[in-house]
């Protein structure tokens, strides 16, 4: 593929179908083999002359792979091999902060890693990988994302601490109470280790969350067997979530041209520079891995 692919969207199950339903031309579907295994399918689309990739974390047809078992290293390596430098991560956490209601959009600014999912680095049993995590999300992309979302139809929160857990189980009331005391606003399972791995590959990476439920114990919700979240979200809240999900492609297409045009004056392209200067890593990132 000769024309550059400007950025990637990593999103929910079968996210590519939202763009197909809007009539966007799909140019290719790739499943690269990487040193870390096969990636998930990568769908290449074009919109107003802009080429972008769409990758679904959990599967194409259903929730085939739960969060702890997503092969983030293969997915990110594959995106990097296509020349992609920017990533918009779309994810669906629960709210610890009650001001962040189901159906709201949130651009988190920080991460609280409370999980035990591994690996969190591409450089297991090696020296490189000691990377500063402030800011953990690309400040250039995140700033442009918030400017664009301000004109949209959904309530937007411009700061939040995302608490990362392992899953696939949901959290206990005591855990949510602990996370609240630690300053957490959202709780989810997908941004870690994805964001940390993306930084090791020097992506510009930012996240856009849509709240799908209140976390356990935030509100008094009786258990309801057999329904989504077992009663953590009311029918009215789930309807608000479905409205956001239905607008996913519309929101993404409003963002993508702005994100693609955002300059990379941020630290992201140079996060591994110390290791290059020291001679631990070559100039070509493909030589970093056996």
Q: Give yes or no for residue 1 having a pLDDT over 70.
A: no
Assess if residue 2 is contained within a domain: no
CATH code of the domain containing 271: 3.40.50.1580
**pLDDT tens per residue across span 21-68:** 999 999 999 999 999 999 999 999 999 999 999 999 988 876 778 888
Q: How many domains does the chain have?
A: 1
Assess if residue 270 is contained within a domain: yes
Q: Is the pLDDT of residue 144 over 90?
A: yes
Q: Which domain holds residue 209?
A: 7-288
Please check whether residue 251 lies inside any domain of the structure: yes
84-114 pLDDT, tens digit per residue, is 999 999 999 999 999 999 999 999 999 999 9
Q: Is residue 1 part of a domain?
A: no
DSSP per-residue letters across the chain: --S---EEEEESTTTHHHHHHTTPPEEEEE--EETTEEPPPEEEEEETTEEEEEEESS-SSS--S-GGG--HHHHHHHHHHTT--EEEEEE--EESSTTS-TT-EE---EEEE----S---S-TTSS------SSSS-HHHHHHHHHHHTTSSS-EES--EEEE---SSPPPHHHHHHHHHTT--EEESSHHHHHHHHHHTT-EEEEEEE--EEPBTTB-----TTSGGGGSS-HHHHHHHHHHHHTHHHHHHHHHHHHHHS---SSGGGTTHHHHHHTSS-SSGGGG--
Mean local confidence (pLDDT), 247-263: 96
pLDDT level of residue 2 (50, 70, 90 thresholds) = low
Average pLDDT over residues 149-155: 91
Residue 238 falls within a domain, yes or no? Answer: yes
Domain assignment present for residue 120? The answer is yes
């Amino acid at each position: 593929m000769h024309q550059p692919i400007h950025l990637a969207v990593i999103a929910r199950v079968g996210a590519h179908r939202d763009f197909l339903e809007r009539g966007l031309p799909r140019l290719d579907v790739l499943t690269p083999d990487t040193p870390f295994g096969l990636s998930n399918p990568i769908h290449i689309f074009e919109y107003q002359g802009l080429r972008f990739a769409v990758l679904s974390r959990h599967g194409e047809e259903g929730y085939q792979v739960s969060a702890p078992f997503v092969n983030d290293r293969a997915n990110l390596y594959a995106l990097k091999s296509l020349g992609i430098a920017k990533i918009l991560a779309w994810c669906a956490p629960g709210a610890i902060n009650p001001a962040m209601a189901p159906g709201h959009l949130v651009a988190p600014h920080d991460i609280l890693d409370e999980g035990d999912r591994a690996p969190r680095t591409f450089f297991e049993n090696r020296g490189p990988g000691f990377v500063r995590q402030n800011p953990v999300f690309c400040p250039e992309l995140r700033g442009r994302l918030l400017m664009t979302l301000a004109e949209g139809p959904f309530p937007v929160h411009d700061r939040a601490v995302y608490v990362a857990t392992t899953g696939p189980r949901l959290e206990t009331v005591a855990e949510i109470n602990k996370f609240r005391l630690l300053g957490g606003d959202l709780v989810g399972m997908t941004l870690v280790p994805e964001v940390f791995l993306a930084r090791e590959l020097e992506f510009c990476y930012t996240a856009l969350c849509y709240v799908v439920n209140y976390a356990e114990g935030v509100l008094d919700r009786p258990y309801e067997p057999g329904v989504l979240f077992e009663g953590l979200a009311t029918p009215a809240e789930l309807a608000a979530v479905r409205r956001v999900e239905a607008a996913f492609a519309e929101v993404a297409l409003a963002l993508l041209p702005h994100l693609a045009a955002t300059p990379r004056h941020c630290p992201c392209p140079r996060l591994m520079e110390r290791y290059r200067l020291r001679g631990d890593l070559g100039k070509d990132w493909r030589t970093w891995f056996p």
